[in-house]
A and B are shown apart, each in its own frame.
Chain A
Amino acid sequence: MSDKTTPSNNSFLNDAGNRALIFQILLLAMVVFAGYYLFSNLQANLDNRGISTGFSFFNEPAGFPILIHLIEYTEANTYGRAFVVALINTFVISLLGIILATIIGVIMGLARLSKNWLVARLATVYIETLRNIPLLLQMFFWYFAVLAALPAPRDSYEFADFLLNKRGIYSPNPMIQDGFGLVIFGFILSIVASIGLIMWAKKRQTKTGLWFPAYWSSLGLIVGITFIFLAIAGFPIEFDLPQKSRFNVTGGMVLPPEFVAVLVALSTYTGAFIAEIVRAGILSVNWGQTEAARSLGLRDSMTQRLIVLPQALRVIIPPLTSQYLNLAKNSSLGAAIAYPELVAVVMGTTLNQTGQAIETIGLCMLVYGSLSLSISVFMNWYNNKMSLIER
């Protein structure tokens, strides 16, 4: 790229390296200057308005209630604690959303590939409908149209011990009694036993070629052993059943409508995207692979599990990661229907009450940034594990 060989052109500016250097110095100067300019304006504005910077407001009492809190929280608690409550809410909804969306996505993706015409059509309709409607609209629909139209507590729908009404989904609340430690011990024991079983089955298969249904039997082991220990301990769980009264429901565990609406909207919407990813992944595996597996004598289920799925996963994982990231970021839309997640609590109420715009918005961006980063680090690790190991 250098013109140094041509005598007439060897001025300083004609050297590509020099030009790049000058350009970059200018760019850096611009960035630094813009940063300095904005920062000095900020300083002046904050001084004028009498806003002090820093996170000292975190130790002041928040004075607002949060509807959904998984750790102890009252109005007397600090902003710091309110932030933690909101953080937990965001994590819970993201995690549950990711699990549910994956299940829905896999089912719908497989359904769209089904040989059954009707099933494939229905899955297509589901995917194309949900993908093309804004998530916020779907959330509003679930919250204001579906859940708000449910009956009042006294007319709740009842399924077994579950209640469904305007105020949410009520389920029996398991109350742990004395002797539950024994059950936990049994559960851990069963997991150890099934890991041993799987290892033994693998060893035997490499040695003798004989196959043993290790995964099904370990599921049986876990359920069986845990149940036996439950029985030995005398079933140390009592259920606090929800009781409906005229205006309210007492007892039980409740999933509030805000939570249900956000969860349903997030998982069905993201599920539709995941379905397309799953479909594309499975279609990307060459049909010859399936034929080869069949000619080796593998059963259909084993062909899918051992041949098609591992290869499809290589195509599926990278876009799946970005869907998970999207889901985590989209959980912030819960703010619009008063689900108390990070944006609603920190950038909404806290910002309104304290006026600390820089700190609250910066904190939110930091949290979402690290959430995104940790999901992508985990998925990259998984992707590396699954990817093709080439010579």
Chain B
Amino acid sequence: MAIIFKPSPSLPPPVTSVGAVAWVRQNLFSSPLNIFLTLFSIYILYLLLPPVIEWALINATWEGSSKAACTAGGACWAFIGVYFDQFMYGLYPEAETWRINLAVILLVVMVGAFAIKTINKLYLSIAIIVAYPIVAYFLFAGGVFGLEVVETSLWGGLFLTVLLGVIGIVASFPLGIVLALGRRSEMPIAKSVCVVFIETIRAVPLITILFMASVMIPLFLPEGLNFNKLLRVLIGITLFSAAYMAEVVRGGLQAIPKGQYEAADAMGLTYWQSMILVILPQALKLVIPGIVNSFIALFKDTTLVYIVGMFDFLGRIQAANHDSNWLGTTVEGYAFAALIYWVICFGMSRYSMALERKLETGHKRN
């Protein structure tokens, strides 16, 4: 009978080198410095987390119609509830807010329609870019089909913030592309006009541009010709963001190898044909993260319109904080505003990362 060598089963690895214990040892307590840092972090968490959770969740008052309802000693979220409509729509008449909701739903449906395979994407894009803004404008402003006219001075809240951000970025996009092409052009005058415009705008803070839009534009226009403040601020924001957009697009244009330009020329394409058919599709794909980043920056910057007297989301929060019936709810207001801004901005930055991965076609050098 053959004796078969049978090794006894190997011992399990020591508890200190696998599983949770090992992880804790490696990641939290690997050296004296790390031990100190871990303990220090835990101490900071201990100082911050329990009071915040207690204030925001445990002792909070969620419902109520006045400050008197908030007796639990924690956050008074009832304040947000009472002011919610104002935060969202500003002073837009309450009976008419369905128009804003309808416009938002319409946009979501139209964008969502891209997911349907059988739909003609070209027509859909044209509908979104050309038809939708007109419909949305008449929905917001009214004056047709028996819709009540709503002055733009009543527009406010998150509605105004999103409006400023979206129009700013959409309108600045074509302008930015033209400026970027101009800056890269070989025509000296066209180039210098673009460079001077881009660099001047980029050198000054947005707030000076907004002041210019609200105070100086009327001075530069002939007597009698004047347009409304929202439009003036929108022009300011668009010009501002176009300068930044131009630099982002220029980055993309520079990243396209010279061979592509030469190949387009060799095919006999004109300048505009080669740009639209060959260069820009590649360049814009490269700079999608940059475009989203400038959108996030612009979205955060729209808060500045409050300084020139427009009540966007932050402006409404600030105004509500001054309500004498709700004194002492400042932190709640800011916390709510911060949460909304954070969700939107963080969501967009994650979306741009996902988009970047999706559009990656393997040209990246490693």
Contact = CB atoms under 8 A, between A and B. Distances in A.
Query: Which of A23, A135, A137, A364 counts the most B-chain CB atoms under 10 A from its CB?
Result: A137
B222 A44 contact: yes
Query: Which of B27, B204, B331 counts the most A-chain CB atoms under 10 A from its CB?
Result: B204
B314 A117 contact: no
A46 B27 CA distance: 69
A172 B242 CA distance: 49
Contact of B341 (A23, A38, A132, A364): A132
Interface in B141-175: none
Interface string A107-141: 00000001111110010000011011111110011
A137 B334 contact: yes
B41 A119 contact: yes
A369 B211 contact: no
Interface string A134-174: 11110011001100110000000000000000000000000
Contacts of A77: none
Interface in A362-388: 364-365, 368-369, 372-373
Nearest to A20: B187
Contacts of A357: 215-216, 219
Given A116-B28, A132-B345, A335 B334 contact: no
A351 interface: yes
B260 interface: no
A81 to B, nearest CB: 22
Contacts of A1: 265
Contacts of B222: 41, 44
B330 A148 contact: yes
A113 to B, nearest CB: 13
Given A116-B34, A118-B41, A24 B334 contact: no
Contacts of A148: 330
B326 interface: no
Given A41-B221, A365-B208, A136 B330 contact: no
A372 B207 CA distance: 15
A160 to B, nearest CB: 21
Query: Mostly helix, strand, loop or mixed at chain A's interface?
Result: helix
A41 B225 CA distance: 11
Query: Which of B28, B186, B203, B222 counts the most A-chain CB atoms under 10 A from its CB?
Result: B203
Given A136-B304, A343-B207, A41 B220 contact: yes
A45 interface: yes
A265 B338 CA distance: 14
Contacts of B342: 129, 132-133
Interface string B1-36: 000000000000000000000000001101000100
A227 B103 CA distance: 71
A364 B215 CA distance: 14
Interface residues of A, number: 54
B190 interface: yes
A27 B303 CA distance: 35
A336 interface: yes
Contact of A23 (B27, B187, B304): B187
A4 to B, nearest CB: 16
Contact of A364 (B45, B202, B208, B334): B208
B362 interface: no
A129 B301 CA distance: 16
Interface in B169-219: 186-190, 193, 200, 202-208, 211-212, 215-216, 218-219
A369 B200 contact: yes
A233 interface: no
A358 interface: yes
Contact of B219 (A45, A122, A343): A45
Contacts of B221: 41
A347 B208 contact: yes
A42 interface: yes
Interface string B302-335: 0110110000001000100100000000110010
Interface in B257-291: 265
A27 B334 contact: no
Contact of A27 (B41, B190, B202): B190
A135 B338 CA distance: 10
A23 B203 contact: no
Interface stretch (A61-69, A217-225, A306-314, A326-334): A326-334
Contacts of A20: 186-187
B104 interface: no
B129 interface: no
Nearest to B221: A41
A177 B342 CA distance: 52
Contact of A333 (B44, B218, B304): B304
A31 interface: yes
A349 to B, nearest CB: 13
Contact of B193 (A31, A115, A358): A31
B28 A368 contact: no
B94 interface: no
A145 B205 contact: no
B27 A368 contact: no
A48 interface: yes
Contact of B215 (A333, A361, A372): A361
Contacts of B53: none
A28 interface: yes
A336 B308 CA distance: 10
Nearest to A114: B37
Contact of B207 (A115, A118, A333, A373): A333
A133 B187 contact: no
Nearest to A368: B204
A350 to B, nearest CB: 12
A148 B45 CA distance: 24
A335 B307 contact: yes
B44 A122 contact: yes
Query: Which of B307, B321, B331 counts the most A-chain CB atoms under 10 A from its CB?
Result: B307
Contacts of A119: 37-38, 41
B304 A365 contact: no
A53 to B, nearest CB: 11
Nearest to A122: B41
A357 B212 CA distance: 8
Contacts of A140: 314, 318, 334
A365 to B, nearest CB: 5
Given A132-B346, A136-B314, 8 more contacts: A23-B190, A27-B189, A41-B221, A41-B222, A44-B222, A116-B34, A122-B41, A136-B304
7 contacts: A28-B193, A41-B219, A114-B37, A118-B27, A144-B330, A343-B208, A361-B208
- Lowest 10 CB-CB distances: which A-B pairs, in order? A132-B345, A117-B27, A329-B205, A134-B300, A24-B189, A369-B203, A372-B203, A332-B205, A136-B303, A134-B303
